[in-house]
Amino acid sequence: MKEVVYIDCFSGISGDMMVGALIDLGVDFDYLKSEMVKLGIGGYDLTLSEVKKGSIKAKKFHVNITAPQFARNYRDIKRIINESKLNAEIKKVSKNIFKQVAEAEALVHGYEVNKVHFHEVGAVDSIIDIVGTAVCLNKLKIGMFYSSNVPTGKGFINCSHGKLPVPVPATAEILKGIPIYEGGFDFEATTPTGAAIIKALVDDFRGIPFMTIEKIGYGAGDRENKETPNVLRLLKGFLKEQQDIREENLILLSSNIDDSSPEVAGYLVEKLFEAKALDVWIEPIYMKKTRPAFKINVLCQREAEQEMTTIIFLESSTLGVRREEVRRYSISREIKTARLPYGDVKVKVGTLGGKQINISPEFESCRKIAQETDRPLKEIYYDAVRFFSRR
C-alpha cells in the first residue's frame, strides 16, 4: 500500500503551521531540534505548545529570534543548506521549496534569482520553517502528497516591499496552475512559504482520496478566526489497494437557448467535441411562456473552460453561460478488440477491483462492420459483447 499525506488547508497554509502539523503526526520535537542544529545557524530557539483554535486542539510551532538577523539572498541560503550536516534528501527538499520562492520573487520584482534578497522569507524563522518541514518529512518517510484547493485570503499586508495585495505577488506567482479561492479570510491565509511547500510537494489537488487514515495532525496558525479554526490539518494514511476509481475536478458549462434551430444545435455539439470537450449533451426544456427550448451542457477540464465558453458564444445565440465546478468519478477503461467471425470491432472495457465490469462496443466500429456485411447493427453489438466475453 502507498503511504500518503492529504494536506487539508481549509484555513490556508504557512511554514509554521506545516511544521506544527507534522510534529502532531508523530515527529519528536527534540529530534527536530537536534537536526536543526546541523544547519549551522544561530540566533534563535524553538518552542512548541499545545493550543486550541476554535474547538480544535493543535500544535503551535514557533521560532523565537534571540539575536539580530540580516537579509540573505538565495545564494546565501543554498550555501547554508549545502554546507550543513543534514542528509542529502533533507537538503534536496529544502532547496526545492526555497527555489519556488526565489524564482517567484525574481520574476515579480525583476531580480536575478541568486541575488534575490528574501527579507521576511530569508529570515531565520522562515529558513527554520522550510528546513524543519524537510526534516519532518524525511523522518515520516512520506512518498505521496495530495492537497485540497488553496485559500489565499484577501486584503493588504505591509512588508519590506511596501503595501501589497493578498495574495502577495510572490504567492500568486507560486500558485500558478494550482486551484485557489479567496476563502472569505480578511488576512493572508497562505504565505509564500506555505505556497512553496504546496508547490514543491503535492502530486495532485483533489478531494480526499480513497484512503485509510492512520493518524491526523493539526498545526496552529497565529491569527484567531471566528468563522473557521485557524489550523492546518494533515491526514496520514494509505491509499486503498486496487483503487480503480478516478476522481477529477471538472467544469460544467450550460446555457438555455430558445431561439435557435436544431441544425445549429447539432453543429454546436460537433464543434465542442472537436475542441476536446469531455462530454456534451442537450436537454429539452420549457422556458418563459411555456416556450420549448433546449439546454446545452458541456463537461470539460478547467484549462479548456475559456475555449468552450467562446465556442458556445460564437456558435449559438445565447447571451450567457452558467459555470459550475463538479466532481466526476470514473473507472479505469481501455479500448480492446472483439474478433467476430466476420470482422473486428473495437470495444471499451471498464474495470473495477481488477475485474471487467462493463463492455461497450464502439458505435463507429460496429456501424462500419454492419455496412460492410449488411447485418443489422443491433446484431453487431450483441456479437461484440458475446465474442469478447468468451475470450
User: pLDDT tens for residues 118-129?
Assistant: 554 447 888 999
User: pLDDT tens for residues 115-156?
Assistant: 666 554 447 888 999 999 999 999 999 889 999 999 999 999
Overall pTM > 0.75? no
Q: What is the number of other CB atoms lying within 10 angstroms of the CB of residue 250?
A: 17
Q: Report pLDDT for 119.
A: 54
Are the CB atoms for 34 and 210 separated by under 8 Å?
A: no
Average pLDDT, the chain: 90
Are the CB atoms for 101 and 175 separated by under 8 Å?
A: no
**Strands of the chain, DSSP E:** 3-8, 44-53, 56-65, 145-147, 150-151, 156-159, 162-165, 180-181, 204-205, 211-220, 231-239, 245-257, 279-287, 291-300, 322-340, 343-352, 355-361
Q: Enumerate residues 6+ apart whose C-beta is below 8 A from 47.
A: 61, 62, 64
Are the CB atoms for 276 and 252 separated by under 8 Å?
A: no
Q: How confident is the model at residue 314 (pLDDT cuts 50, 70, 90)?
A: very high
**Using CA of residue 287, residue 254, residue 183, residue 49, what is the dihedral sign?**
positive
Reply yes or no on whether the pLDDT at 81 is more than 70.
yes
Q: Which three cell numbers stand for residue 44?
A: 534563535
Q: Which residue intervals of 1-123 are DSSP H helices?
A: 15-24, 29-37, 74-83, 88-109
Q: Report pLDDT for 67.
A: 85
**Cα-trace Rg, the chain:** 27
Q: Report pLDDT for 366.
A: 94
User: pLDDT tens for residues 334-361?
Assistant: 889 989 999 999 999 888 876 788 999 9
Q: How confident is the model at residue 244 (pLDDT cuts 50, 70, 90)?
A: low
Q: Report pLDDT for 161.
A: 65
